[in-house]
Each structure stands twice: as C-alpha cells, then as structure tokens.
C-alpha cells in the first residue's frame, strides 16, 4: 500500500495536492460540512498532503481508509465515485437488470455509505437491495445468490480501528471479486476522474422508481432456515444447550 511521505516534497507535488485541496474548498459540488472540515486543517500542511496527495486506492478488496474529507479518505464522494466505476462495469457486462445487494456493519457512516452506493446505482438504472439494518457478511453472500444479483457491496472495514471504514465488492457467486472482474472493476473506478460527473438521485425518487428496495426478514428467514440445515448432531446440542457459553467480541 502507498504510504504518505511527510515533509515538503517537490514544488510540483505541493502544487498538485494543494490545487486539489483548494478545488474541494471552492467547488459547489462539495457540501458545507466537508468544506468546514477542510477549512479546519488550513494551516496543517502534512494533514492536507495526507488527505489529497493521492486518490483512495480501489484494490481487489475494494476501498478501505480513514473516514474524513479528501481524495485519500472514506467519504460520500469517494464511495460514490467507486460505485460509479462499479456501475459502469456492471453495465459493460450487461448485468444491470439483475441488481446489487448491499449490506453494512455498525461502523460510523456505514448506513450512510450504503445509501450513497445504492442511490448511485439507482441513478445508473441498477436496482439496489439494501438491508434495513446491520447484517453479518455471510448473509450478504446469501442475499446476492437468493436475489439473483449481479454483484454485492458490503460496507465494513473488518478489524480496522474505529476511524476506518471500507467498501468490499462481491460478484454474482456471492464471493469477493476475482479475475477478471477484479481488474475490470478497478480499471473502471480509475477511469472516473471527475467527481461531479458521478450519478446520484434522491432517495424517494429511487424508491418510487422501484430502484431502491429495502430487504430484511424476507432474506433473514430463508437464510436462517438454510443455516439450520447445516447443523450437525442437533440432539447433542439440545443436551448441553443450557451449559453453552458464548464470547462476544465487538468491533475494534
């Protein structure tokens, strides 16, 4: 992974990230909260560089980064840009009629990023199936296959510290993307260079057009039913059920 190199850098490097920083501050496309956050770091050269020296890289595992304003951060703009690339790839594969399932965890901004992705897909004519609340990753894999989707998105950063979030893409088999789809999607994401050209639409409009569908019990119940079929030695479990102990480890 690329790491930020702190220090002065060349004049060209300084101008590049400084220009991008100033563009985010002046462009009416970016919201006021984003601009306030960026204004708060105006005197911090290293922080400006860390946020703008590169684009948050989309790899085989998707996106993962610190939440915040800037091209090298997880925010609604970088998530929407990645989703536009995914949408372009899905359309190139003629998979837009099958839709995309979206799940998310309990991290900060996870529900918001899920909706940002869903509304970008909807604006591209791709139906989004969004879980009503947080779900485990294996259920997303199940939902992709159960609904016959062309792809899935999971908003999570797994074990990373709390300031992080992430964006993972799954294909129609319910597994994370593999060749040739991984490089195909990465190329399409890199080709989206203008944030303002990325498509989106209002939530209510997407719902009215049938392009945003909330999912929940309709997937939960058959998923649990399928899991129960995999239980081994139910009779043994019944005998010791009252004695079983479970350790729960939350995120972070």
Catalytic residue positions, numbered: 158
Start-to-end CA span in the chain (Å): 21
Ranges of H-type helices in 97-136? 110-123
CA angle 24, 27, 28 (to 5 degrees): 125
Q: How many CB atoms lie within 10 A of CB 182?
A: 18
Of all helices (H) and strands (E), which one includes residue 102?
Answer: strand 100-104
Q: How far is CA 202 from CA 115, 209, 210, 250, in A?
A: 10, 11, 13, 33
Q: Which helix (H) or strand (E) holds 184?
A: helix 181-191
Helix (H, G, I), strand (E, B) or coil at 165: strand
User: Using omega within 30 degrees of 0 as the cis cutoff, is the peptide bond preceding 180 cis?
Assistant: yes
Q: Within 10 A of 2 (CB to CB), how many other CB atoms are there?
A: 8
């Amino acid at each position: 992974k690329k790491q930020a190199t702190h220090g002065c850098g060349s004049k060209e490097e300084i101008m590049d990230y400084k220009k991008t920083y100033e563009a985010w501050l002046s462009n009416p496309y970016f919201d006021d909260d984003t601009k306030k956050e960026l204004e708060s770091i105006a005197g911090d050269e290293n922080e400006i560089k860390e946020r703008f020296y590169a684009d948050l890289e989309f790899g085989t595992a998707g996106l993962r980064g610190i939440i915040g304003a800037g091209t090298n951060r997880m925010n609604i703009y970088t998530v929407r840009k990645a989703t536009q690339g995914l949408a372009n790839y899905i359309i190139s594969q003629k998979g837009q009629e099958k839709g995309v399932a979206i799940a998310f965890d309990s991290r900060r901004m996870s529900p918001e990023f899920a909706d940002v992705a869903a509304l970008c897909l909807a604006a591209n004519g791709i139906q989004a199936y969004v879980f009503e609340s947080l779900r485990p990753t294996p259920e997303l894999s199940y939902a992709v296959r159960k609904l016959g989707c062309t792809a899935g998105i999971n908003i999570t950063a797994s074990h990373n510290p709390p300031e992080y979030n992430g964006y993972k893409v799954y294909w129609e088999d319910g597994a994370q993307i593999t060749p040739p789809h991984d490089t195909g999607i990465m190329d399409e994401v890199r080709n989206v260079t203008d944030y303002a050209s990325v498509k989106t639409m209002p939530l209510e409009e997407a719902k009215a057009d049938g392009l945003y569908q909330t999912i929940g019990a309709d997937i939960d119940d058959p998923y649990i039913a399928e899991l129960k079929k995999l239980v081994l030695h139910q009779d043994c479990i019944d005998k010791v059920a009252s004695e079983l102990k479970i350790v729960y480890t939350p995120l972070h």
